[in-house]
Amino acid sequence: MIGLFLYLTLSSPMALNLANKQFPPATILMAVRWYAAYKLSYRDIEELLAERGVQVDHATIHRWVLEYAPQLEAAFLNGKKRAVSGSWRMDETYIKVKGRWYYLYRAVDKYGDTIDFMLTEKRDEAAARSFFDKAIGQHGLPVPEKVVIDKSGSNAAALDSLNWQIWFAGIIGGFIEVLQVKYLNNIVEQSHWAVKWKMRTALGFKSIEGAEASIAGVELWQMLRKGQMINAGDMSAREQFYSLAA
């Protein structure tokens, strides 16, 4: 097993451009992981680091999350994420940003593995279609065989437009089966909890950039916890997280 000590004592520059920073890379990565993994605010992490002799302002920790959480997620998606099932469960939940409610589209497969997520201002057919296009295209995933949704007409319309595109393209056998069965969608509805408690810890996100970075970190941590990294071997979720920076 790759020891956690190895990662926490790294002092050389890493792929995430952690060179020439005021604080050691290990400190930065640990703070970002704490924020993504636990019910901690930036001020909580400031206090925890102070107990370890590291004096850093909570605003600096916020900047670390903004900069590095999306980069770590991108490193994971760059060939390190395990393939998902062709049976998807899709749903959206509410996220408060700058005092307004936004929509977080999310999808998991029938085993609960995270497929993708997207924060958007609107909840309509165009937003749902953008989410499906992102989920299918960004990660090189095939068109799903089946998608379970709630009673949302906009989600159904987005899948209908996708099926029409498949038909016009002449892709034989490529149609997506669409099911609107609530109990089958419980698995994705229940998986919203991690992002929701981070929103409550933050008392609502203060900016779109902050919300997207925080969600990227939380979703990344959950994917690692669920064992979605390829060739993780005996590495713990912590070790997998730190390995993304190497």
What are the pLDDT tens digits along the chain (246 aa)? 233 333 444 333 446 777 657 899 999 999 999 999 999 999 999 999 999 999 999 999 999 999 999 999 999 999 999 999 999 999 999 999 999 999 999 999 999 999 999 999 999 999 999 999 999 987 665 689 999 999 889 999 999 999 999 888 777 667 899 999 888 889 999 999 999 999 988 888 999 999 999 999 999 999 999 999 999 999 999 999 999 998
- Report pTM: 0.89
- What span, in angstroms and rounded, lies between the C-alpha atoms of 34 and 102? 25
**pLDDT for the residue 5:** 35
CA distance 106 to 87: 14
CB 98, CB 202: distance < 8 Å: no
The fold adopted by the segment(s) 87-190 is Nucleotidyltransferase; domain 5 (3.30.420)
Distance CA 229, CA 76 (A): 8
Burial 118-145 (b: 16+ CB within 10 A, else e): bbbeebbbebbbbbbeebbeeeebebbe
Within the chain, all domains assigned CATH 3.30.420.10 are found at: 87-190
Find the length of the chain: 246
Tokens of 120: 């958007």
